[in-house]
């Protein structure tokens, strides 16, 4: 029996970039590759791949990723050692060849300050045999074929379909894990516009897996929206009463007035932003991060906050 069915979804133009690295893997040819092109939601083709795949384990890999040469070897070893695990994923790292904005934005995604728990997906973490959707994406995900007898990807959802799939699988009783040995390198958005669209969409679909009250139970997902609302209010205050910023500079130099209450969140955010920007720059040995990460972190938080608000507004209007 074939061990793995590798499912790759992509648009009809060209061929998946990931094939080049898959063909260089250090693993016997005990797998099949299912390249399923087409328009529409990738979930349609992932479900189809899971149905027609002959492998004992269905592997989902993004078309623009690059796999580690030991990916399938490590995956087989993992499933042999953990026979009770049904789904496992690993880190999607920023390729070493990435440059400019794409590379530095990768630092922000892997940072706790940038994405809080979802940063688990973008860095090497410890083995976790009880992982949740913050660890896994379909950039790299292995599922036993039996999982699809009970759980399917939502074909009306993109992005966020992978998070919803993992949540529903855990509810159905399947066990989910994260292994740091299952590595792919995934390209980042090369421009600011594409990065904003990506993060906005992540926020927009959050309501498909989290209720309004669930968001409040996980405040770090809601804080970006509060920060966006606060920033908008601060902008209008500045337009209506420009002199208030004189008090802002007074706060910086020790003149604490009533306006300190207004600017306290901004000062806290600036301090944390600069602190984490410096930390990520040092950790990644890239001095450019000190100059660009404060801006990228801010864009990331505001984009996600806007997307989250927009998603709940759409959900409310649909109900009405």
Average pLDDT over residues 101-130: 93
48-71 pLDDT, tens digit each: 999 999 999 999 999 989 999 999
Q: What angle do CA 230, 226, 268 make, to 5 degrees?
A: 70
* pLDDT attached to residue 115: 87
Token code pair at residue 24: 């260089």
Sheet with strand 176-178: strands edge to edge: 31-37, 4-10, 57-61, 140-144, 87-89, 176-178
Query: Residues of the chain with pLDDT > 70: what percent?
Result: 87
Most confident of 50-54, 212-216, 222-226: 50-54
CA–CA dist 259, 234 (Å, integer)? 11
CA–CA dist 196, 306 (Å, integer)? 10
In the block, tokens 């000062």 appear at: 267
Token code pair at residue 178: 């994260």
Token code pair at residue 154: 């939502």
Bond prior to 159 in cis (omega within 30° of 0):
yes
34-53 pLDDT, tens digit each: 999 878 789 999 999 999 99
Question: So where are the chain's domains?
Answer: 4-98+121-188, 207-319
234-290 pLDDT, tens digit each: 888 777 776 666 555 554 444 445 566 777 888 899 999 999 999 999 999 999 999
* pLDDT attached to residue 84: 95
Rg value, the chain, Cα: 22
**Band of residue 302 on the pLDDT scale cut at 50, 70, 90:** very high
Asked if residue 97 has pLDDT above 90, the reply is: no
**Band of residue 113 on the pLDDT scale cut at 50, 70, 90:** very high
46-49 long-range contacts, CB within 8 A, separation 24+? 46/7, 46/9, 46/138, 46/153, 47/148, 47/152, 47/153, 47/155, 49/5, 49/7, 49/9
For the segment(s) 4-98+121-188, the CATH number from 3.40.50.720, 3.30.70.270, 3.90.550.10, 3.40.50.1370 is: 3.90.550.10
Token code pair at residue 215: 């968001």
Asked if residue 218 has pLDDT above 70, the reply is: no
| Pairing verdict, β 65-67 and 184-186 | antiparallel
On average, the pLDDT of the chain sits at 88
* pLDDT attached to residue 262: 77
């Amino acid at each position: 029996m074939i061990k793995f069915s590798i499912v790759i979804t992509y648009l009809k133009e060209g061929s998946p970039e990931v094939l080049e690295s898959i063909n260089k893997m250090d693993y016997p040819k005990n797998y099949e590759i299912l390249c399923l092109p087409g328009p529409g939601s990738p979930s349609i083709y992932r479900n189809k791949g899971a149905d027609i795949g002959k492998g004992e384990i269905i592997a989902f890999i993004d078309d623009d990723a690059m796999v580690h040469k030991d990916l399938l070897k490590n995956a087989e070893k993992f499933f042999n050692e953990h026979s009770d695990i049904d789904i496992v994923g690993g880190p999607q790292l920023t390729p070493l060849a990435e440059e400019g904005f794409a590379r530095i934005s990768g630092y922000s995604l892997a940072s706790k300050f940038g994405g809080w728990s979802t940063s688990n997906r973008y860095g090497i973490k410890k083995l976790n045999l009880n992982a949740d959707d913050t660890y896994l994406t379909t950039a790299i995900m292995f599922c036993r074929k039996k999982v699809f007898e009970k759980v399917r990807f939502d074909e009306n959802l993109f992005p966020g379909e992978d998070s919803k799939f993992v949540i529903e699988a855990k509810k159905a009783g399947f066990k989910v894990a994260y292994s740091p040995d299952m590595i792919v390198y995934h390209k980042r958005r090369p421009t600011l516009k594409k990065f904003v669209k990506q993060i906005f969409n992540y926020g927009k679909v959050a309501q498909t897996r989290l209720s309004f009250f669930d968001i409040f139970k996980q405040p770090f997902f809601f804080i970006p929206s509060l920060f966006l609302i606060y920033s908008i209010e601060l902008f209008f205050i500045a337009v209506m009463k420009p002199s208030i910023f004189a008090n802002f500079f007074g706060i910086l130099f020790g003149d604490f007035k009533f306006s300190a209450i207004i600017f306290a969140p901004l000062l806290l955010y600036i301090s944390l932003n600069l602190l984490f920007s410096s930390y990520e720059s040092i950790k990644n040995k890239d001095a450019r991060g000190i100059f660009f990460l404060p801006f990228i972190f801010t864009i990331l938080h505001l984009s996600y906050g806007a997307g989250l608000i927009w998603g709940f507004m759409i959900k409310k209007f649909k109900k009405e």
